[in-house]
Amino acid sequence: MMDTLLIALVGLPARGKSTMGRKIARTFELDDLDVRVFNNGELRRTLSDENTSSPDFFSPANEAGLAFRDHCALINLQRAREFLNSSGKVAIIDATNVTKKRRKLIEEMFFDMPLLFIECVNTDEEALEANLERKGLLKEFCHLSVQEAVDGLTRRIGYYEKAYEPLDEERNRILVDSFEACILQEQITDLIPYYDRIRDIITTRIVRNLFLIRHGETFYNLEGRIGGDSGLTEKGQAQAEALARYFAPWRIPIIFTSKHKRTQQTASPISEKQEHSSIIVLPEFNEIDAGICEGMTYQDIKEKMPMVAQARARDKYGYVYPDGEGYACMEKRIHRGLKKVFYLNNLNDNIMIVGHQAVNRLILSYFVSRPKEEVPFIYMPQDRYYHIQVDPYKRIFELMPYINSPR
């Protein structure tokens, strides 16, 4: 049984364990391995006749709740064991597993086969807060307001924090920053099958479907002005409605936008045509700050600030507007925004970003190898969108029309 493997995830709630488990499982499926994820939370909700979303259910003082959660954990461990004893190659236990007692039980039940613990952490408070808000929209909390759900999740995490014992003695363990997608520590004592593949999976961004959309036409676009916070024209609103009709058959649970109203006005009709979809505003995706040139046309800049126009023409990527920014200094915040998107995204879901011309150019260049000097010239129309897929086997980039075009 040395070619079988049990992976036990470890970590506080909302730290990216489920996403990590799905990412590993999806890649192993592409590798033609028989893999299955055993999620304790899903089993708990299936077996319980009551709503177990209340934070008090997770209180250490709730003996009945503790006994039921232990019962669910044991069932999943037994199912994982049966799976690996038959045709299974990799079983993944998706649970907090934050106590040494629980991990000792796992080691005892799988004493005769390779076992790897993967602990997920995240110290980025903004990303954690956004993840809690996303979880507050889940069906489990449909009877609560988003804020009530977030408050309850925060209390639940507090209970887990009191019992939390990080990995430190386990023979085979990896500590992962799930926000940064990097390995912080690793200790491997035994021969772990597929280990090199697992390390590659942990550090690889996987995208099922990313729809990268530029906002619809604005009044500033008509006037040739840069920056600002202009709203959509009648044509821009029609483009947003066309996008909404086009993407209606897709499941898009989250749409990411900037703080500018033109992206939110474009995203709003799309979200309204989805069964359950929320708009998450990320300031990291704000359009390039043109500083003292905000609201001007390029012709205005050429006539009134010829030195600015000339310097920018020599190095469009590296140039920084006076009191503003440029492509080069935007890169860091754009990449941080993408990290938030990856962290908040369920790998089984599609991703949509409604952004700006310069922003979308930098996002696309994250996936496509283009020399930096070419990035400011990437074609970013308002009547088409980019479709991106990334997995360990392929990368797909398509520029697709959405108006008068079948899906």
The catalytic residue positions are 214-215, 221, 262, 287, 356
Cα(108)–Cα(86) distance, integer angstroms: 19
Cα(92)–Cα(80) distance, integer angstroms: 8
Which tokens hold the place of 207? 């995208």
CA 332, 337, 340: angle at the middle one, nearest 5?
130
Q: Which residues 6+ apart lie within 8 Å of 285 measured at CB? A: 256, 257, 258, 263, 334, 337, 353, 355, 356, 359
Cα(17)–Cα(21) distance, integer angstroms: 6
Which of 268, 265, 273, 272 is CA-nearest to residue 234? 265
- The half-sphere exposure of 45 on its side-chain side, counting CA atoms within 13 A, is 9
CB 101 within 8 A of CB 164: no
Instruction: Output DSSP code: residue 6.
Output: E
Q: Which residues 6+ apart lie within 8 Å of 305 measured at CB? A: 293
The SS3 of residue 83 is helix
The SS3 of residue 301 is helix
Distance from the first to the final alpha carbon of the chain: 46
Give 205-221 as a DSSP string. --EEEEEEEE---BHHH
User: In angstroms, how far apart are the furthest CA atoms of the chain?
Assistant: 77
Which of 362, 353, 359 is CA-nearest to residue 289? 359
Residue whose structure tokens are 């023409």: 313
Cα(240)–Cα(255) distance, integer angstroms: 13
